[in-house]
Amino acid sequence: MLRIMNFGNPQRIGLALGLALLIFVILWRSCTLNTSPNGQITVAYDSSSIPPARGQEKNIQAFIDEILFRIASQAHFEIRVVSPGNYNLFNGLDSRIFDAIVSTRIPDIFSAPKYSFSQPLYKTGSVLIVANTSPIKSLDDLSGKRLGMQRGSSTTFNLLRDRPAIAITPFDNLTTGVDDLIRGRFDALVMDQLTAYALLEGYFGGQIKVVSSPLTNDGIRLVMLRNETQVQKFDNAIDELKKSGVYGELLKKWGLRNPDILP
């Protein structure tokens, strides 16, 4: 017996077909993602991927654009950088609309089961700052001394929680905190490296110095749904770019410091 099915309103038919197509595309991408070593990877990022950088945001964005394509060339795959549009970056990643995203999210025990994180494309972690005449060279020299840190800096607090001999004092105003360092009210400060070097090259030049590479794991990274094999390719490519000197050349090209090399 032939049964004639009535689908009703043509608009509903169009909506149903559109939804079915969207589901098919998502399922197809989930099955085919990274099956070819030379396949194309879609990477999304937006302004939230770049931390506040005291006027260097565009330089960092240009550096990230170029380093992504250098990574792709080094690892022998194609890369397509896109804007997420109306999508939240992680929602788009979770839905497999993007293969990877650029993010400042820090790897932790909560995200590790779901996501794979590359090593930082660019480190933004906290560094140690002292007065220019200070003999202090590391956190190990701060036992029994006063360390200032900006209020609400949880990452830095986690770094120092196992050093009870250091007297941690929060400050609210950055300029006041640095001024107190110069006047001897603090023995050292910790702050993100972007801010630290901006101060070093600005008003406080010649009065303060950075004495450490980044002490925390903050940085701009590539993030994928759990895929350690692909992320290892990213990391290997970054290592090769650093080893060859290309990474350092790109930093200089875009007016950025290498935070692992002290001035």
**pLDDT at position 48:** 85
Collect all residues with Cβ–Cβ distance below 8 Å to 179 and sequence separation of at least 6. none
Report, as an integer, the average pLDDT of 229-233: 93
**pLDDT at position 53:** 84
Enter the tokens of residue 23.
């589901």
pLDDT band at 27 (very low <50, low <70, confident <90, very high): very low
Query: Higher confidence at residue 194 or residue 27?
Result: 194
Homologous superfamily of domain range 126-210: Periplasmic binding protein-like II (3.40.190.10)
**pLDDT at position 38:** 47
Using the predicted structure, report yes or no on whether residue 235 has a pLDDT greater than 90: yes
Residue-wise pLDDT tens digits, 194-224: 999 999 988 898 999 999 999 999 999 999 9
Rg (CA), the chain: 24
Using the predicted structure, report yes or no on whether residue 25 has a pLDDT greater than 80: no
| Whole-number Cα distances in Å, 4 to 15, 123, 137 | 21, 64, 82
Domains 38-123+218-253 and 126-210 share a fold: yes
C-beta of residue 138 within 8 angstroms of C-beta of residue 210: no
Collect all residues with Cβ–Cβ distance below 8 Å to 197 and sequence separation of at least 6. 210, 257, 259
User: What does pTM read for this prediction?
Assistant: 0.81
Using the predicted structure, report yes or no on whether residue 46 has a pLDDT greater than 60: yes
Residue written as token pair 């910790």: 190
- Can you give the residue ranges of every domain in the chain? 38-123+218-253, 126-210
Using the predicted structure, report yes or no on whether residue 16 has a pLDDT greater than 80: no
Residue-wise pLDDT tens digits, 74-102: 988 899 999 888 789 999 999 999 999 99
Query: Higher confidence at residue 155 or residue 115?
Result: 115
How large a percentage of the chain has pLDDT more than 90? 63
Using the predicted structure, report yes or no on whether residue 17 has a pLDDT greater than 80: no
**pLDDT at position 152:** 79
For residue 170, give the H/E element and its range.
strand 167-171
* CATH number for region 38-123+218-253: 3.40.190.10
How large a percentage of the chain has pLDDT more than 70? 84
Using the predicted structure, report yes or no on whether residue 4 has a pLDDT greater than 60: no
| 263 vs 136: CA distance, rounded Å | 15
Q: What is the mean pLDDT of the chain?
A: 85
